[in-house]
Amino acid sequence: MSDLAHDQVVAHHDEHESTGIESRKLGMWVFLSSEFLFFGALISNYLLYSNRAGFDGIYPAEIYDIPFTSVSSFVLLMSSLTMVLAHHALSRDDQNTARTWLFATAALGSVFLGGQVFEFTEFVVEHDMTLSTNPAASAFYLLTGFHGTHVAIGVVMLLSLWGISRRQGGLSFRQGLNLELVGLYWHFVDIIWIVIFTVVYLLSSPPG
Amino acid sequence: MTATAERPASTIFRRPKSTSGFWGWVTTVDHKKIGIMYGYAAFFFFILGGVEALLLRIQLAQADSEFLTAGAYNALFTMHGTTMIFLFVMPVSSAFINYLLPLMIGARDVAFPRLNALTWWLFFFGGIFLSSTFIFGTSIPPVSPDGITGNLAAGGGPGSFNFLADSPDGGWFGYQPNAGPLYSPGTAMDYWALGLQILGLASLISSVNFIVTIFNMRAKGMRLLRMPVFVWMSAVVAFLLLFSLPIIAIALFMVTFDRQFGTLFFAPVGGGDPILWQHLFWLFGHPEVYILVLPAMGIVSEVLPVFSRKPLFGYSAVVFAGAAIAFLGFGVWAHHMFASGVSPVAQAAFGLATMTIAIPTGIKIFNWMGTMWGGRIRLTTPMLFAIGFVGMFTIGGLSGVTHAVVPSDWQQTDTYYIVAHFHYVLFGGAVFGLFAGIYYWFPKLTGRVMSPRLGKLHFWLQFIGFNLTFAPMHWLGLQGMVRRTWKYAPEMGLEPWNIAVTVGSFIIATSIAVFIYNWRHSRRHGEPSGLDPWDARTIEWTIPNPTPEYNYAHPPTITRLDEFWHMKYDEDEEGRAVRKPDADEMINQLEYDGLNPSGPIHLPAPTYFPIVMALGIPIAFYGIIYHTTAWGKAMILIGALISLSAAIGWAIEPLEEAPTEHHDEIEEPEEMVLDE
Amino acid sequence: MSAEHRPHPTPPQYWRIAAFLAAVTALEVAMFYIDRELELGFLNTAVLVTLSAVKFLVVVGWFMHVRFERPMISRFFTAGFVLACSLYLVVLAALGVVAIRG
């Protein structure tokens, strides 16, 4: 199997990259840079409403469980580690190790998602904070909900790669590039959470 | 060429092989076919949007007219705007970029051919989804506080087009909370919001595709500053799309959630802020107008030099001005909100920023004029439209500058003066430019030239009709004619000019009929074009017409800007172009070489997955609209599963399959068969 | 040496980076509780934003390999980030969430 370490290698005989960056990788980076605009809108929306006075019902900042969310954040951070270890293993053509770390990443991502589900359930059932409680609640759920959706899509992609690797006994060169692309996506989702954790959980407070 | 771990043991469906016939088109990943499909679909929507406009104009030709009900009127201007912007101008620009971009940079296709097909199918199904609101959408009149139904939609005699009252009627800009759940109950605005979501996704994917194509797939020697201006404008547009679409996506999600799931983003009753919608919408909306006009500017920058027999004046300046317009275009959105109660500081800042955009725009206009100045002008049809663009866009730009002056804008806002402005830049600008492109590049598609006589008839009818329609709107607006309003009182004295406007609109319609006839006639009976009908400058004219499936038989090498021109012409001591003695022979050789590749050419193979993946999304979105029912929930699930399976199948399928027919050795096509 | 020729990190280095990220996270949480007691106002915001910025840059630079890629990639990425921050800062200012003096 070919070495993935150097991204200068032309992936396909027909492709001559004028930039020297493989096209799919460039494409993923271009897409990710647009996602800043996507999450930026959601975060701004939250910042607008999270401590606006005068709403009925409970504000999300009143009910955050910081210890719980800290553990969640730690889990997601560690999943970035396992992701990069998977990529590294694949670049050394160590298919089995790569597969293991891939699965670990998906598992950690799922734990994070489970944590989100648990948190949302707590908020709804225990504290009666739903989508419709007030705009602050709406903004919180939309932001973290979209982030969670991104994580879920990432988990699906990771498990798909893992499944393909299992079935075929390893990933080909081209599929290995897909792993790198999924990795970039995964890390991006992680850095968005880094921002969310600080801005939403640690820094925001209810009005008054 | 059999990779080992590359190909799985089985997939469910046989890979399509055909590149012709109906299935050839359905499964194509060829940028040219995709571009053509985009073009035909966009043109269909152009007609639809035009009919919507004509109905509006019939209503407004008379004061106090009862031809349309208020509800029908609102629906018509909503759908006219939405259709023209999202279903006509954007897709037709996409058609041009799709078809021409690879040709202009010397490539075989775009960077991601299957994603390209996906964007087409997303647009197609998204357009159907959005338009299906006319059939399925409901728009229940809200109950007014005193309990009497404010049912302006009811009533009206025969021909009142009452069915339209059930269509989206919140304007193409969907201002909240008017277009929200409280004041626009029913499903019509959900079709609008979710339909735009699908279309936005298509454009976002396209933008990634085009950016990577332009950066990565240029032929040898095609440095960035040797690319045709049209390619540059395509790059700029792609960046505008890339960064503005996510914003509207979030805004539309917020509207959908407000309408369907009870969130309170824009509902003042619950504490939501309507101005937030305006910010988010116009953050997208302003870059959007540059998205609409920059491709046409690129086209004009190609057409004017060819028919002036002079290079583009100030190529670098035109390129950088285009980039500057885009960059500044991100900083002016609140000029759509001067009358919405934003602070004086914001008004001053945005007013100033808006004025600065006139600078790069002016640079372009002067450079276009400089291109024509001293040139040997040939008034072909594309040239007429290109010159028309320059004139009409300038007029529209001038009225735009008056909007930048804030107190002046307060007078103009919500009057027909604004309607005049944006139609001058969008119709007089973008649409004229797009027609220039159609006439200019028609030979590449068909190997024939469109009839010059009919083309000129089309131009003059459209020019006269257009100006008769939109020029009076300037003074109608300043005299107080309010926009987005279904009728005006007789004592306002607006009727005579409104009649003129309506007459103008029908002249436009006639001109389009001429165009359609010309298109159809010329496809079959137009004069054969040969390789170089216009004595052009850029490399897409170095290959035969109609374009071969593989584009370039031999990848070109570029040594300078306007490569083709310099292949044909030398310069004498006074800098005048002198045709090389062997130019004609060289052209014949190009034609021969272009039709006879020397070796096998591998093209991306056709595939089902883009159309299947695109199909799942509107299905899921129908489900979202009706999610309170069981079958609605089922549709969400089914749609999601369809798209998901297609995505997985796509990821497994290799881009290239068996070689195409252009080889000497025809290998046995590798068929995927059912396992076991 | 140019970006693409720097040696990529090894697994032990990745583990160390992860430990660093975990430590910074712990610091952030600690800061949260400290501020609950001491109410440091803007200082709290500054510290937390800085800490998360560090995490952000570390993940982007090392895990996403931006430090080892061609500059074009970081330029695209930065462009998107800067554009987002600028646009939304202005929107938040216009909506009164962020105060701009003068």
Q: Rounded CA gap, B644 and B646, in Å?
A: 5
Mean pLDDT of B455-471: 98
Contact C91 B343 (CB under 8 A): no
Contact A21 C70 (CB under 8 A): yes
Partners of C81 on chain A (C-beta within 8 Å) are: 33, 36
Q: What is the pLDDT of residues B149-167, one digit of tens each?
A: 444 444 433 344 556 767 8
Reported as type and span, the H/E element at residue B403 is: helix B381-404
In chain A, where the domains are located: 24-202
What local confidence, expressed as pLDDT, does residue B646 receive? 92
Q: Rounded CA gap, B221 and A157, in Å?
A: 38
Those residues with Cβ within 8 angstroms of residue A126's Cβ, 6 or more apart along the chain or in another chain: none
Partners of A64 on chain C (C-beta within 8 Å) are: none
What local confidence, expressed as pLDDT, does residue B377 receive? 96
Q: Rounded CA gap, C7 and A3, in Å?
A: 15
Q: Rounded CA gap, C69 and A21, in Å?
A: 9
Contact A21 C73 (CB under 8 A): yes
Q: Rounded CA gap, A180 and B618, in Å?
A: 30
Mean pLDDT of A142-148: 97
What local confidence, expressed as pLDDT, does residue B160 receive? 46
For residue B315, pLDDT beyond 60: yes
How many residue pairs bridge chain A and chain C with CB atoms within 8 Å of each other?
123
Contact B216 A23 (CB under 8 A): yes
Q: Which residue of C has its CA nearest to A67?
A: C29
Q: Is B550 on the interface with A (CB under 8 A)?
A: no
Q: Which chains touch C (3 or more CB pairs under 8 A)?
A: A, B
- Of B498, B504, B501, B508, nearest to B62 (Cα)? B498
Distance of residue C46 Cα from the nearest chain B Cα, in angstroms: 27
Q: What is the pLDDT of residues A21-55, one digit of tens each?
A: 999 999 999 999 999 999 999 999 999 999 898 89
Mean pLDDT of B240-259: 97
For residue A7, pLDDT beyond 60: no
**Beta carbons of B16 and B27 less than 8 angstroms apart:** yes
**Beta carbons of B358 and B351 less than 8 angstroms apart:** no
For residue A3, pLDDT beyond 50: no
Contact A171 B257 (CB under 8 A): no
Tell me the pLDDT of chain A averaged across its residues. Answer: 90
Q: Rounded CA gap, A49 and C96, in Å?
A: 11
Q: What is the pLDDT of residues B361-394, one digit of tens each?
A: 999 999 999 999 999 999 999 999 999 999 999 9
Mean pLDDT of A75-97: 95
Contact C14 A83 (CB under 8 A): no
What values do phi and psi take at B503, rounded to 5? -60, -45
What confidence category does residue A2 fall into, taking pLDDT thresholds of 50, 70 and 90?
very low
Tell me the pLDDT of chain B averaged across its residues. Answer: 90
- Of B304, B277, B214, B286, nearest to B243 (Cα)? B286
How far is CA B304 from each of CA B284, B367, B384, B565, rounded to the nearest angstrom?
31, 10, 9, 14
For every residue of B185-214, DSSP letters joined together read: -SSHHHHHHHHHHHHHHHHHHHHHHHHHHH
Instruction: Supply the pTM of this predicted model.
Output: 0.92
Reported as type and span, the H/E element at residue B559 is: none
State what percent of residues in chain B have pLDDT above 90: 80
**Beta carbons of B507 and B67 less than 8 angstroms apart:** no
Contact A73 C49 (CB under 8 A): no
Those residues with Cβ within 8 angstroms of residue A191's Cβ, 6 or more apart along the chain or in another chain: C55, C56, C59, C60
What confidence category does residue A8 fall into, taking pLDDT thresholds of 50, 70 and 90?
very low
What local confidence, expressed as pLDDT, does residue B166 receive? 77
Q: Is B617 on the interface with A (CB under 8 A)?
A: no
User: CATH for A24-202, among 1.20.120.80, 1.10.3720.10, 3.40.50.880, 3.40.190.10?
Assistant: 1.20.120.80
Question: Which of B2, B4, B212, B252 to probe the A interface (max A CBs under 10 A)?
Answer: B212
Q: What is the pLDDT of residues C25-60, one digit of tens each?
A: 999 999 999 998 988 888 999 999 999 999 999 999
Mean pLDDT of B97-126: 96
Quote ipTM for the complex: 0.92
- Helices A66-91 and A173-196: angle between axes, nearest 10 degrees: 160
For residue C102, pLDDT beyond 80: no
Distance of residue A194 Cα from the nearest chain C Cα, in angstroms: 6
Partners of A40 on chain C (C-beta within 8 Å) are: 84-85, 87-88
**Beta carbons of B40 and B523 less than 8 angstroms apart:** no
The alpha carbon dihedral of B286, B292, B297, B302 has a sign of: positive
Question: Which of C57, C88, C92, C98 to probe the A interface (max A CBs under 10 A)?
Answer: C88
What local confidence, expressed as pLDDT, does residue B22 receive? 87
Mean pLDDT of B206-230: 95
Name the one residue in this structure whose structure tokens are 């059912």: B674
How many residue pairs bridge chain A and chain B with CB atoms within 8 Å of each other?
130
What confidence category does residue B575 fall into, taking pLDDT thresholds of 50, 70 and 90?
confident
The alpha carbon dihedral of C56, C57, C58, C60 has a sign of: positive
Q: Which amino acid is at B563?
A: E
What local confidence, expressed as pLDDT, does residue B145 receive? 54
**Beta carbons of B601 and B549 less than 8 angstroms apart:** no
Partners of C83 on chain B (C-beta within 8 Å) are: 243, 330
Chain C residues within 8 Å of chain B (Cβ atoms): 72, 80, 83, 87, 91, 93-95, 100, 102
- Which residue from B8, B217, B246 is facing A41, i.e. has the nearest CB? B246
**Beta carbons of B405 and B351 less than 8 angstroms apart:** yes
Contact B283 C94 (CB under 8 A): no
Of the ranges A161-170, B414-423, B661-670, which one carries the lowest mean pLDDT score? B661-670
Mean pLDDT of C64-68: 91
What local confidence, expressed as pLDDT, does residue B655 receive? 66
Mean pLDDT of B267-273: 90
A124 is written with which tokens?
């709804």
Contact B253 A142 (CB under 8 A): yes
For residue C89, pLDDT beyond 80: yes
Mean pLDDT of B356-365: 96
What local confidence, expressed as pLDDT, does residue C3 receive? 56
What local confidence, expressed as pLDDT, does residue B482 receive? 95
Q: Can you tell me whether residue B41 is helix, strand or coil?
A: helix
What local confidence, expressed as pLDDT, does residue B665 receive? 34
Contact B279 C94 (CB under 8 A): yes
In angstroms, how far is CA B589 from the centroid of its own chain? 36
Which residues sit opposite B579 in a β-bridge?
A: B569
Contact B250 A170 (CB under 8 A): no
What local confidence, expressed as pLDDT, does residue B18 receive? 66
Name the one residue in this structure whose structure tokens are 């999943």: A79
For every residue of B425-443, DSSP letters joined together read: IIIIIIIHHHHHHHHHHHH
A166-195 residues touching B, CB cutoff 8 A: 167-172, 174-175, 178
3-state secondary structure chain A: CCCCCCCCCCCCCCCCCCCCCCHHHHHHHHHHHHHHHHHHHHHHHHHHHCCCCCCCCCCHHHCCCHHHHHHHHHHHHHHHHHHHHHHHHHHCCCHHHHHHHHHHHHHHHHHHHHHHHHHHHHHHHHHCCCCCCCHHHHHHHHHHHHHHHHHHHHHHHHHHHHHHHHHHCCCCHHHHHHHHHHHHHHHHHHHHHHHHHHHHHHCCCCCC
**Burial zone of B549 (CB within 10 Å; 0-12 exposed, 13-18 middle, 19+ buried):** middle
For every residue of B563-608, DSSP letters joined together read: HHHHHHEEE-TTS-EEE-TTHHHHHHHHHHHHH--SS----PPP-S
- Which residue from A47, A78, A199 is facing C18, i.e. has the nearest CB? A78
- Which residue from A8, A36, A84 is facing C80, i.e. has the nearest CB? A36
The alpha carbon dihedral of B32, B33, B36, B38 has a sign of: negative
Question: Which of B218, B239, B247, B264 to probe the A interface (max A CBs under 10 A)?
Answer: B264
**Beta carbons of B605 and B631 less than 8 angstroms apart:** no
Long-range contacts of B81-85 (CB under 8 A, 24+ apart): B81/B171, B81/B172, B81/B173, B82/B130, B82/B168, B82/B172, B82/B192, B82/B196, B83/B45, B83/B48, B83/B49, B83/B52, B84/B45, B84/B46, B84/B49, B84/B426, B85/B172, B85/B288, B85/B292
For residue A140, pLDDT beyond 50: yes
Distance of residue A138 Cα from the nearest chain C Cα, in angstroms: 17
Question: Which of C90, C97, C100 to probe the B interface (max B CBs under 10 A)?
Answer: C90
- Which residue from C80, C93, C95 is facing B275, i.e. has the nearest CB? C95
* Cis? peptide before B311, omega within 30° of 0: no
The DSSP output letter for C10 is: P
Distance of residue B216 Cα from the nearest chain A Cα, in angstroms: 4
Q: Which residue of C has its CA nearest to B215?
A: C72
In angstroms, how far is CA B222 from the centroid of its own chain? 26
State what percent of residues in chain B have pLDDT above 70: 90
Distance of residue A128 Cα from the nearest chain C Cα, in angstroms: 25
For residue B676, pLDDT beyond 60: no
Q: Rounded CA gap, B53 and A102, in Å?
A: 56
- Which residue from A12, A48, A54 is facing B276, i.e. has the nearest CB? A48
**Beta carbons of B71 and B139 less than 8 angstroms apart:** yes
Alpha helices in B61-112 (DSSP H): 70-82, 90-105
Q: Is B249 on the interface with A (CB under 8 A)?
A: yes
For residue B661, pLDDT beyond 60: no
Contact B330 C94 (CB under 8 A): no
B488 is written with which tokens?
């005006």
B142 is written with which tokens?
């809200």
Partners of B327 on chain C (C-beta within 8 Å) are: none
**Beta carbons of B594 and B548 less than 8 angstroms apart:** yes
Contact A30 B253 (CB under 8 A): no
Q: Rounded CA gap, B363 and B344, in Å?
A: 30
Distance of residue B545 Cα from the nearest chain C Cα, in angstroms: 37
For residue B450, pLDDT beyond 90: yes
Partners of C87 on chain B (C-beta within 8 Å) are: 247, 283, 330
Q: Which chains touch A (3 or more CB pairs under 8 A)?
A: B, C
Q: Rounded CA gap, B178 and B180, in Å?
A: 5
Contact C52 A195 (CB under 8 A): yes
Distance of residue C94 Cα from the nearest chain B Cα, in angstroms: 7
Contact C91 B279 (CB under 8 A): yes
Partners of B342 on chain C (C-beta within 8 Å) are: 94
Distance of residue B168 Cα from the nearest chain C Cα, in angstroms: 28
- Of B112, B77, B194, nearest to B483 (Cα)? B77
Q: What is the pLDDT of residues B496-527, one digit of tens each?
A: 999 999 999 999 999 999 999 999 999 999 99
- Of B210, C17, B408, nearest to A78 (Cα)? C17
**Beta carbons of B416 and B493 less than 8 angstroms apart:** no
Partners of C95 on chain A (C-beta within 8 Å) are: 48
Contact A202 C29 (CB under 8 A): yes
Long-range contacts of A8-16 (CB under 8 A, 24+ apart): A8/C4, A11/A173, A11/A174, A11/A177, A12/A174, A12/B655, A14/B108, A14/B602, A14/B656, A15/B216, A15/B217, A16/B217
